[in-house]
Structure 1
Amino acid sequence: MDEALDDIRYLADSQHRPVVIRMLAEGRCSRAALREATGASSATIGRIVQAFEERGWLVRDGSHYSLTPLGRFVAASFARFHGDMAVARELNELLPYVPLEEIGVSVEQLTDATVTHATQYNPFAVVSRVRELERISETARSLTDFFPDPCIEGRYRSIVHGTQTFEAVFAPVVFESAMDSAFLDEFEAIVASDRTDIYVYDGEISHPVMVHDGVGCLVVRNDVDVSIGMIETDDDVFLEWVTDVFETYRADATLLTAEDLAAPLEDVLAEVCG
């Protein structure tokens, strides 16, 4: 019998035990505080603290309970395991479409990443997250072939009515879409701003990426080119890859100038993209 597995099962096979050990890891607690945090009955809390005490994880301190050094070790180990499994679940659907070897990162390096999922109930989750980043970022870079109206509006507010600096490499489809947008004036104001450098890349963009205040972002697409999520992390290797991808595309792109904006966008695109 693997007694270590028994302890893991004991902690995991309950909605209350993980809460109790997490609370105690933060400091000594009374039974009333544990009952309030878990919503469990006093009898249930009594059985949990008794089991913790029998395992050597807990000591009684008058009317309060505290973890032993062993208990603190167990709490920290379980918290790490729980966190890693939560990341694994979050990344499960995205990882088949993430070029881990090309990026040079392991799954372990993504354990602190922020992961956004597009779902059937929230298909625009990625756009919503990008809009949030647009509002709070001071510096931003974006390589994309998708720049919908909500993002135009968000960038406009952050750049023209804010202080954000913005460098972007857009596929022609972004400009073509903007010309038919109700936010065409705002888009042109973004391009004309002295806090922006906007480039046109005439080709396919394999991996849409962004950098917001030193955090690298990768929009993940499935095999039918649908955005299914986004990964954000300040991991050095990940950020370096995102930056390299952006700068590689930028090197082959054409910078739009203020003089370009004097002509209709469709004429500019015809000249830039041939």
Structure 2
Amino acid sequence: MSDDARFLADSPDRLTLLLRLSEGAASPSELAADGPSSRRSVQRNLAEFADRGWVEGGGGTYRLTVTGALVAEEHAAYVDALDRIDAFAPLFRHLPDREHAPDPAWLDDADLTVATDEDPQAPVHRYVTSVKRFDTNRVRMLSPVLSRLFHEAHATLALRGVHTELVMPASTAERARERNPTEFAAVVRSGALSLYRCPDAFRVGLVVGDDRLLLAAYDEEGQLRALAESDDSRFHAWATELFERYRERSERVTG
């Protein structure tokens, strides 16, 4: 860790002070009145900032230099990213690897639903409600599990004429066929569903509509533990690409 990074990490008040100065020049007494630090602490930090070339003083006030402004912006972005990672830790914790994790920067406006001891089915119920509300012409979907609740939610879309492309692990698709061969064949031949059988097991779920998506994280027992919902265009593009990678290595089921 660089000395500057260590210096900023030692006290959150230093970022607060830099951000206040990014709003305009101020005196030590004004900075102390606006923030959580005493005037003595403010003056000590200003002296350190000046030594590092982040501020310059004149007429009893201090202002950020260009370097200081860049430091303030980048450190604030770093802290924000860490806060988002912490907020979405229940999702990240159950994703299989970094390849299946969205960029934290895309999660600013995402909604997260997490299974808790009090409500272990919370993400399942949110999934069902959200899928039924999708306003889309096509759904692209990864599903590692069989679920009657999920089936019913997607049936609602099918009745509205929405076509679903579904990729499942081969073992999961075969279990679906074995449970009810007649229903399985009817669904596959209905035209409402294009089913693909992936040779590899996976434990991430995905529902991608025209402009909205759900990302589902499962534990090793196949229980849905966290669900993120977003309409961020960057997240959507990433999710679409992830689906395409799975579909490309999968085989179409025709009956």
Return the TM-score normalized by structure 2: 0.56
Does residue 199 of structure 1 match 2:227?
no
Indicate how the Cα distance of structure 1 residues 125 and 49 shifts in structure 2: closer, same or farther if over 3 A, else same.
farther
Deviates more, 1:136-145 or 1:218-227: 136-145
Give, in angstroms, the shift of residue 215 of structure 1.
5.3
Deviations 1:144-200 (A, max 9, x none): 545759x95xx97x999xxx9844367898xx9xxxxxxxxxxxxxxxxxxxx7438
Query: Structure 1 unaligned runs (5+)?
Result: 177-196, 255-274
Aligned residues between the structures: 219
Matching residue of 2:235: 234
Q: What's the CA shift for 1:131? A: 4.7
Report if the CA contact (8 A) 2:197-2:250 is conserved.
no
Residue 105 (structure 2) pairs with residue 112 (structure 1): yes
**SS in structure 1 of the partner of residue 220 of structure 2:** coil
- Within 5 A, what are the aligned runs for 1:65-144? 65-86=62-83, 88-89=85-86, 94-95=91-92, 97-100=94-97, 105=99, 110-114=103-107, 116=112, 118-120=114-116, 123=120, 124-125=122-123, 127-128=125-126, 131=129, 141=139, 143=141, 144=143
Aligned counterpart, 2:253: 252
* Pair 1:72–1:210, CA change in 2 (3 A): same
Residue identity opposite 2:235 in structure 1: D
Shift of the 159–16 alpha-carbon distance from structure 1 to 2, 3 Å rule, reads: farther
One-letter code aligned to 2:52: R
Instruction: Point out the more displaced range, 115-124 or 209-218.
Output: 115-124
238-247 or 126-135: which moved more?
A: 126-135
Percentage identity across aligned positions? Answer: 16
RMSD: 4.9
Q: Measure the CA separation in 1 of the matches of 2:129 and 2:136.
A: 13
Structure 2 gap segments, 5+ residues each: 167-172, 180-190
1:242 alignment partner AA: F
Cα gap change, 1:146 to 1:223, in 2 (>3 Å): same
**Secondary structure, counterpart of 1:208 in structure 2:** strand
Shift of 1:18: 1.9
Residue among 224, 229, 233 paired with 2:221: 224
Distance 1:48 1:130 in 2: 52
1:20-55 Cα distance to aligned partner (Å, 9 max, x none)? 223434x31545875576444555444433432333
The whole-number CA distance in structure 2 between the counterparts of 1:159 and 1:22 is 51
* Bigger Cα displacement from structure 2, 31-40 vs 214-223: 31-40
What is the CA–CA distance in structure 2 between the aligned matches of 1:33 and 1:136, rounded to whole Å? 50
**Cα distance, 1:84 vs. partner?**
4.5
Is the 2:16–2:35 Cα contact (8 Å) retained in structure 1? yes
Higher relative contact order (CA 8 A, sep 6+): 2
Of residues 151, 160, 164, the one that matches 1:168 is 164
Q: Distance in 1 between matches of 2:158 and 2:25?
A: 49
Summarize deviations over 1:108-140 as a string: whole Å, max 9, x none.
x62324273615266425754775687585556
Tell me which of 11, 33, 36 is aligned to 2:8: 11
For residues 56 and 198 of structure 1, the distance between their equivalents in structure 2, rounded to whole angstroms, comes to: 64
Q: Which one of 53, 56, 59 corresponds to residue 56 of structure 1?
A: 53
| SS across alignment from 2:12 | coil
- Which whole-Å deviations, capped at 9, do the CAs of 1:197-230 have from their partners, x for residues lacking one? 7438698995421114445543110101111224
Q: TM-score, normalised by structure 1?
A: 0.54
State the secondary structure of the residue aligned to 1:224.
coil
CA distance in 2, matches of 1:98, 1:223: 10
Matched, 1:209 2:203: no
